[in-house]
Amino acid sequence: MDIINGMKTSSLYLGIDGGGTKTLALISNEAGKVVGRGLAGPSNYHRVGIESAYLALDEALQNALDAIHIQDERPDSKHIKAVCLGLAGVDRPVDRLMFQDWLTSRLPQVPFHLTNDALPVLAAGTPQNWGVAVISGTGSIAYCLTPQGKLTRAGGWGYIFGDEGSAYSIGLEALRSAAQSADGRLPETRLLPAILSHWNLDNPADLVNKVYSTSIGRENIAQLSILVAETANHGDPIAQGLLQNAGRELARISFAAAKNLDLTKPVPCAIAGSVLLHNPGVVSEFIRFSHQLGLQPEPISAVPEPAIGSLKLAAQLKNL
């Protein structure tokens, strides 16, 4: 057994959470203490491609290993005892095969758990690893896991015809509201000058060239959700309405995932993603409308780092 600065390096666990915005790798010791953190770009291969996803995973893993403070020796991947890889967009067998290749090439003979991004959220945010997981960042999705292990999902259809309640959807609706306000189809809203200022534009007509240029991406649209939150906090009714609608859409997605499972009320709920973590108004509307639909999410726990759940799932592999 290798020992570096008193740490048993043969008993390290790796948990990774990868999505459409970033990838976070955490390394913990036998006691569950996080000893290394590594951040990289997005690893949802549906958005960035498989090679870019691999590069992000490589960078996050290496950064986490490099972050372990040592004097004379540096641990590497051979010291990882078990790993859980939780990735957005990994739901089908063909998706899993792609990342099994990454795992077996980078971490040969290491026990692994490869899953979508829901199970780590449930592991980190529910008392017994079951319930409803609602994720709203750049995209949105909801999963429901029963105590018996049955998993259902709703949402997650992507930005073209889905992702309701996500940062991208909020940003897109903000653009529509700003354009309609400029036309006079909607009342005046602070969203219009806020977006123009954010993009350094002089007048509403400039939005056309900006939005339809090749340089703008989904992330640029999603970032407008921050302006919506700021504008809503200043009392703008249109911005407030966009956030309320996002909460209702996330409630609909969650109810759709849970409605056929005959779960006894209440249902533990874990929430993750920037929209739910940073917008109390979205969460309160999500709760209110969930109850109206017949879903009782309780208790509700925020999960700022789903990679913590990935670590827990990795540590569970040690007894298998």
State the CATH number of the domain containing residue 97: 3.30.420.40
pLDDT at 272: 95
pLDDT at 21: 82
Give 146: exposed, middle or buried? Use CB within 10 Å, 0-12, 13-18, 19+: middle
- 191-212: pLDDT as tens digits: 999 999 999 999 999 999 999 9
Q: Report, as an integer, the average pLDDT of 152-172.
A: 93
What secondary structure does DSSP assign to 107-174, as a single string?
Answer: STT--EEEEESHHHHHHHHSTTS-EEEEEESSSEEEEEE-TT--EEEEE---TTT--TTSHHHHHHHH
Is the CB of residue 169 less than 8 Å from the CB of residue 155? Answer: no
Whether residue 227 is contained in a domain is answered as yes
Nearest-5° angle of CA 181, CA 246, CA 173?
A: 30
Whether residue 105 is contained in a domain is answered as yes
Q: 188 and 99, same structural domain?
A: no
CA dist list (Å): 107 to 61, 63, 104, 174: 11, 15, 5, 44
- pTM value is 0.87
Is the CB of residue 50 less than 8 Å from the CB of residue 99? Answer: no
Domain boundary among 56, 86, 116: 116
Instruction: Determine the structural domain holding residue 57 and report its residue range.
Output: 3-116
Is the CB of residue 171 less than 8 Å from the CB of residue 194? Answer: no
Nearest-5° angle of CA 14, CA 218, CA 101?
A: 35
pLDDT above 60 (res 250): yes
CA–CA separation, 27 and 12 (whole Å): 6
Greatest mean pLDDT range, 19-23, 71-75, 128-132: 128-132
CA–CA separation, 245 and 243 (whole Å): 5
Whether residue 142 is contained in a domain is answered as no
Q: 172 and 102, same structural domain?
A: no
pLDDT above 50 (res 274): yes
Whether residue 26 is contained in a domain is answered as yes
Q: 78 and 16, same structural domain?
A: yes
- Whole-number average pLDDT of the chain: 89
CA–CA separation, 202 and 216 (whole Å): 18
pLDDT above 80 (res 77): no
Domain boundary among 116, 131, 152: 116
Residue 22: how many other CB atoms lie within 10 Å: 16
Give the type of residue at 81.
K
Whether residue 210 is contained in a domain is answered as yes
* Percentage, residues of the chain above pLDDT 70: 93
Among 3-12, 71-80, 218-227, the least confident range: 3-12
Kindly indicate the confidence band of residue 72, based on its pLDDT and cuts at 50, 70 and 90: very low
Q: Report, as an integer, the average pLDDT of 121-144.
A: 92
